[in-house]
Structure formats: structure tokens, C-alpha cells
Amino acid sequence: MKGSKRNFKNAHILIVGSGIVGKFNALELSKKGFKITIADQQKKKNSSSAALGLLISNMYQKSKGRSWELRKKSNELWPKWIKFLKQYNNNLQIEKPLIQLTTKQENFEKLCKFFSHHPRRGLRVLEQDSTIIQSINTIFNMDNLKGIISNEDGRIDPLTLLKTLNIYLKEKKINFIKENIIKIKKIGNQWISTCSNKLEIKSDVIILCNSLDTLKLIDLNFHNIKLKPVLGQAIEISLNNEEINLLSLPKHFSIDGTNFIRTNKNKIIIGSTDEYDIKPKENTFEDLTHFLETKPQWLNKNNITDKWFGIRSRPEGEPSPILKSLEKGLILCTGFYKNGILLAPACSNWVSNEIENHLL
């Protein structure tokens, strides 16, 4: 017990990767009093800064299994973290509700069935004549939408979240090294990580939060970890039609799996695609709007004013994300595919508990 306390107090943890997952781990572990270093060259935009920030847990159509447990845990932790982080940025918030719509009767029946089996999830069925649906129908020239609304799910703006975490980590004087880690090795009980500028960092524990590039740092002869890239694109449409005011739409909703986030009266973000590649496809617009047989006049390619993508990592042969201790002092918190923003609190909570086994 005495030994473990000593280890805790002096332990140095290196977090590799400063996307949402790396930063959330730094937040959680800094509260435990560890000495923390984060390393990331941040040369390219990461997947966290490309994300839409939808936090779908109550609407998730499963009620058992690991994925549901992680969502449930994150759902429980988010309000606490928002309250805490608001001290560093008062603009941080989760904007509720979340609306899931479909044009297909079969999918709507499934949603209704799920809703009736889960009365405690805070969901409500939206019939075709509801005011919310009417407002979407008007803007999209549709008449066949139905769905559900979740008053407990919502959206966090990922860029505001990342900015807030940066403010916190800077204030707590968390050591940030703007270099990539190119090699890790263990000597005795210590880990030695080599940075791209040849600097060596000694630490007791390494947490790999570097998505696809996790594979470059572990010995794949010993560890059977497989990750594949899944690129996600999003576009922004800007309208110059004074007759259409997007403020009449709900802030965010999805139609047949495509997400819409209206940012002001004439801008709307549409995303995101699932492309098993590292180069973005050309026909994003068509992919994202295929559910519309006839597109309203404002929804056309000429109105695209911004376009971006992020590359997520999807584990092969095991579920996403990978939360695993590979050996003493080496923890993986990686392989976040679609819901890294949502799951960051639950996964860093897992790491925070797991790390105790590494420091005994």
C-alpha cells in the first residue's frame, strides 16, 4: 500500500496523441495528481477537429453489450465534466435535443418498437404532423418524414470542447511536446519514448491515443492489433436565398443516417460519409443527399462553401474502441471509429481505473 502510494505520487504518464481522446485522458489523470506529458506534432488536422459532435446514447438502439455500457457511462459522466469545464469556458454546452428521422416506413416502425420497449430513455415519437417535422418538410420540400426525438441526447461543438480542454491543460501546466513519438521501448520498469526530434522521454506508463498510428509504435509480432482507416467527410452549404431561414429548423437532426447541423440562418453542415480509404472521394455531395429524390433548390453543389474530412480508425476483428493493457506500463485507448467524442469520458475513466494496476 505504501509502495503503491509512492508510485502514484511520482508516476509520470506519457499520453501519445492529442485528439479528444488524448486530451480527455490528460484531464482525467491530471485530477489524480500524476505528472503528465502529452506528445503530438499536430501537423495534420485530426479526426476530433473534423467531428460533428453528436452525442447519441439514449437513442442508441441497443440496451446491452460493451458499446451500450460505454455510452451509458459517458452519458452519466458528461454533465459532470461540462459543469467542471465550464469554469474554463462558459460557452461549453451540450445542446439538446437530438432528432432522428427516416423516410422509410420500415425504419420508423423499428424506431417505434424500440421507443415502446425503452420508456425510460426520454424518447418521444414524432409523427408526420408534428411542428418539428413540418418545419423540416418545408425547408427540404419533403412530406414523408417520421422519427423520434431524444430530450437527453444532444451535440457538443468539438472545436469549443478542444479549445476548452486546451485552456484547462495549459492552466494546469501539463507538459505538451509538439513532436511525434517515433519509437517506444522498455528498459527495466521505465518506458523510453523517442520523439521525432530525437528527444527521449522517460515515463512509467504510456497511453497510446494516436488512432491509426498506434500500429507504428507497437510490436505487431507480439500484439494482434489491426486498425483500418475510415474517412469521414462533411460539407457546409451556404444559402443566399432570403426567403429561406434555416433558423426555423431544429439545431441538429438526422435523416436516414445523414446528419444536419444548422449553424445560423443561412448555413448548414451536412455529414458524414464512411469511406474505407485515406483519400476523400469526389462525390460526397451525392452520397450525403442521396435520400432526397428531389432536392430543394438551395441544396445544390454550387452552394458548398466548405468541405473537410477526418480519418478515424476502426479495429478489425474486435469492437471499437480498443481499451487494453498490452504489457505493464503500456495502455491502448485507441481505435475510435464513429463515437470518439461521445465515448471520451467513459474511456478515459476506464484508463484512469486501469492505470492503478500498472503502478502497483
Considering only residues 220 through 249, tell me which ones interact with ligand FAD, judged by CB under 6 A: 232, 234
Q: Give the one residue of 11, 26, 29, 51 binding ligand FAD; rule: CB under 6 A.
A: 51
Under rule CB under 6 A, residue 54 binds ligand FAD: yes
Q: Give the one residue of 13, 28, 36, 40 binding ligand FAD; rule: CB under 6 A.
A: 40
Considering only residues 121 through 150, tell me which ones interact with ligand FAD, judged by CB under 6 A: none
Q: Is 36 helix (H, G, I), strand (E, B) or coil?
A: strand
Stretch that binds ligand FAD, among 25-33, 45-53, 67-75, 77-85 (CB under 6 A): 45-53
Q: Give the one residue of 85, 101, 142, 181 binding ligand FAD; rule: CB under 6 A.
A: 181
The residue count for binding ligand FAD (CB under 6 A) is 36
Q: Give the one residue of 95, 152, 213, 354 binding ligand FAD; rule: CB under 6 A.
A: 213
Q: Give the one residue of 47, 57, 289, 348 binding ligand FAD; rule: CB under 6 A.
A: 47
Under rule CB under 6 A, residue 329 binds ligand FAD: no
Question: Minimal CA–CA distance to 16: which of 146, 239, 147, 203?
Answer: 203
List CB contacts of 267: < 8 A, sequence separation 6 or more.
Answer: 236, 237, 238, 239, 246, 305
Stretch that binds ligand FAD, among 14-22, 83-91, 299-307, 322-330 (CB under 6 A): 14-22
Q: Give the one residue of 341, 346, 355, 359 binding ligand FAD; rule: CB under 6 A.
A: 341
Under rule CB under 6 A, residue 340 binds ligand FAD: yes
Q: Is 16 helix (H, G, I), strand (E, B) or coil?
A: strand
Q: Give the one residue of 111, 205, 209, 269 binding ligand FAD; rule: CB under 6 A.
A: 209
Phi-psi region of 329 (alpha: psi -120 to 50; beta: other; left: phi over 0): left
Q: Give the one residue of 97, 154, 250, 271 binding ligand FAD; rule: CB under 6 A.
A: 271
Question: What's the CA gap between 299 and 301, in Å, rounded?
Answer: 7
Question: Minimal CA–CA distance to 133: which of 99, 162, 163, 171?
Answer: 99
Using the Cα atoms of residue 251, residue 252, residue 253 and residue 258 in order, give the sign of their dihedral. Answer: positive
Question: Minimal CA–CA distance to 184: which of 173, 194, 170?
Answer: 194
Question: What's the CA gap between 90 and 360, in Å, rounded?
Answer: 38
List CB contacts of 53: < 8 A, sequence separation 6 or more.
Answer: 155, 156, 157, 158, 161, 341
Under rule CB under 6 A, residue 312 binds ligand FAD: yes
Alpha-carbon distances of 318 from 315, 322, 336, rounded to whole Å: 6, 8, 12
Which cell numbers in the block locate residue 99? 432528432
Q: Give the one residue of 11, 13, 14, 17 binding ligand FAD; rule: CB under 6 A.
A: 17
Nearer to ligand FAD, 42 or 89 (CB): 42
Asked if residues 38 and 174 have their Cβ atoms less than 8 Å apart, the reply is yes
Considering only residues 291 through 310, tell me which ones interact with ligand FAD, judged by CB under 6 A: 310
Nearer to ligand FAD, 211 or 258 (CB): 211
Asked if residues 61 and 202 have their Cβ atoms less than 8 Å apart, the reply is no
Q: Give the one residue of 11, 13, 19, 169 binding ligand FAD; rule: CB under 6 A.
A: 19
| Contact footprint for ligand FAD (CB under 6 A) | 16-22, 39-40, 42, 46-48, 50-54, 180-181, 209-211, 213, 232, 234, 271-272, 310, 312, 336, 338-342
